[in-house]
Homo-oligomer: A and B are copies of this chain.
Amino acid sequence: MFTPEAGLFFALWSLPVSLKKYLLAPGPVPVPPNVLNAMAAPMIHHRSPDFVELFKGVKEDLKYLYQTTNPVLILASTGTGAMEGAVTNFLSPGDKAIFVNGGKFGERWGKILSAYGMQTVEIKVEWGRSVDLNDVKAALDANPDAKAVYVQASETSTGAAHDVQGIAALTRNRDTLCVVDAITAMGVTNVPMDEWGLDVVVSGSQKGYMLPPGLAFVGVSDKAWAFNERSTCPRFYFNFAKEKKALEGDQTAFTPAVSLIVGLREVLNMVKAEGIQNVFARHERLANATREGLKAAGLEIFPTGTPSTAVTAVVAPDGIDGQDIYKTLRTKYGVTAAGGQDHLKGKVFRIAQLGYADTFDTIIAVAAVEMAISTLGGKVNMGAGVKRAQELLVVK
């Protein structure tokens, strides 16, 4: 009949349909509509003047994003390819390298170093903590022949950040490179390559760049280029010297991922229009509201170290499996977040607002987590988290 109660009756028997999807994972991330549109334009040829013109601009604007005067290499690969290149282009088999292992991606540095026959010195960091600079200094002092320190600016698996500025201050006056995986940090939080004296900085398109996966970027300092000249590792596709030379002629060494570069053109225009400091401030504002909101909802933030701005790892409440929260978010609410990895599987879940993200993504994130835990019968102060996030995000 003709009453609102009729609607409530419908609601009782109908299965709630999750019509819309929300991508709140730490990559891939939502791609802005203007970028999708640009990438859907007819294909252009990478040796044509149209492409070269576009590429020249992209090349310059990447320096703005990286806050460097050195060229930033553009690779058709995901971040891991660039991480491999950040080993093979600067070291030689048998070289000694220190790596900070505080999560899945720190561990990956170790695996790549071992794959190419390096002697590794591991700084083991409890997952969720940030590396202690004293430990880095001690490792450097104990290994004066270490050619490089490999570290993450933001460890995506644990939601903790490492003080790469502090590490670079330690390597600066030694014959040691500071190599940074900034894959979930670039375009999210301030990582000024030149000012901090970072030597090699790796990033990837599917995070702060707001692009689909498929592009990786590498900034290389003069000090690192000198290492490159002495490096004897076998390499072919990830040949940074060759890429640098190609870049001078406004090209890439091999076929570039054309549509992604077209998308990158759009993204860099957006970043320039907003201003990188504003981009960082926006991410900090959202990450802070997410953390404070989830805490107000009664949840615990996993990292005990400096929390990453890119991704928030949350401890699953007592009696609730973190994977169930992740699955409930996806299947009942259309929200794709991330679960825990390795020994954190089931113990944490992770949620990100990364790149094309704004106030209401945070509101959705906090509301959805509260609701999913409620669906699972877990303990949560529903509404309290959103209220706190609203208070932090209200425009004065």
Listed in ascending order, the chain A residues whose CB lies under 8 Å from chain B are 1-4, 6-8, 10-11, 13-20, 22, 40, 161, 163, 165-166, 189-190, 274, 277-278, 280-285, 287-288, 291, 306-307, 309, 332-334, 356-361, 363-364, 367-368, 370-371, 374-375, 382-384, 386-388, 390-391, 393-396
Which of B18, B306, B370 is close to A2, meaning CB atoms less than 8 Å apart? B306
CB of B20 within 8 A of CB of A358, answer yes
User: Which chain B positions have C-beta within 8 A of A281?
Assistant: 7, 10-11, 13-14
* Chain B residue with Cβ nearest A289: B11
Closest chain B residue, CB of each to CB of A282? B17
B residues less than 8 Å from A6 (CB atoms): 190, 284
Q: How far is the CB of A219 from chain B (nearest CB, A)?
A: 19
Minimum-distance CB pairs A-B, first 3: A7-B284, A383-B387, A10-B281
Which residues of chain B are within 8 angstroms of A20 by Cβ–Cβ distance? 356, 358, 360-361
Contact check: which of B274, B371, B386 meets A393 at CB < 8 Å?
A: B371
Are A360 and B367 neighbours in the complex by a CB distance under 8 Å?
yes
A4 B396 Cβ-Cβ under 8 A? no
Residues of B within 8 A of A288 (CB): 4, 7-8, 11
A363 near B367: Cβ-Cβ < 8 Å: yes
Among A7, A15, A20, A364, find the residue whose CB has the most chain B CB atoms closer than 10 A: A7
User: Within the complex, what minimum Cβ distance (angstroms) separates A314 from chain B?
Assistant: 16
Contact of A364 among B283, B360, B384, B394 (CB under 8 A): B360
Other A-B pairs, 4, CB within 8 Å; known A2-B161, A371-B390: A10-B285, A16-B395, A20-B360, A333-B360
- Please name 30 pairs of A and B residues whose Cβ atoms are closer than 8 Å in the assembled complex, sorted by A: A1-B165, A2-B161, A2-B166, A3-B306, A4-B309, A6-B190, A7-B288, A8-B284, A8-B288, A10-B280, A10-B281, A13-B281, A14-B278, A14-B281, A16-B359, A19-B274, A19-B282, A20-B361, A40-B40, A333-B395, A334-B360, A360-B368, A363-B363, A367-B386, A367-B390, A371-B394, A382-B394, A383-B383, A383-B390, A386-B387
- Other-chain contact of A375, B3, B11, B283, B395 (Cβ < 8 Å): B395
**B274 and A17 within 8 A (CB):** yes
Asked whether A4 lies within 8 Å of B382 as measured between CB atoms, the reply is: no
Min CB distance A266 to B, Å, is 14
A274 to chain B minimum Cβ distance, whole angstroms, is: 6
Output the least CB separation between A396 and chain B (Å). 7
User: When A19-B282, A309-B7 are in contact, do A390 and B386 touch as well, CB less than 8 Å?
Assistant: yes
CB-nearest residue of chain B to A383: B387
Residues of B within 8 A of A391 (CB): 382-383
What B residues does A10 contact at CB under 8 A? 277-278, 280-281, 284-285
Q: Chain B residues near A4 (CB, 8 Å)?
A: 284, 287-288, 291, 306-307, 309
In the complex, A357 Cα to B277 Cα: how many Å? 34
Q: Roughly how many angstroms separate A146 CA and B288 CA in the complex, as a whole number?
A: 65
Interchain CA distance A76-B348 in the complex, whole Å: 53
- Given the complex of chains A and B, what is the CA–CA distance between A206 and B387 in angstroms? 33
- Please indicate the chain B residues that have their CB under 8 angstroms from the CB of A166 in the complex: 2
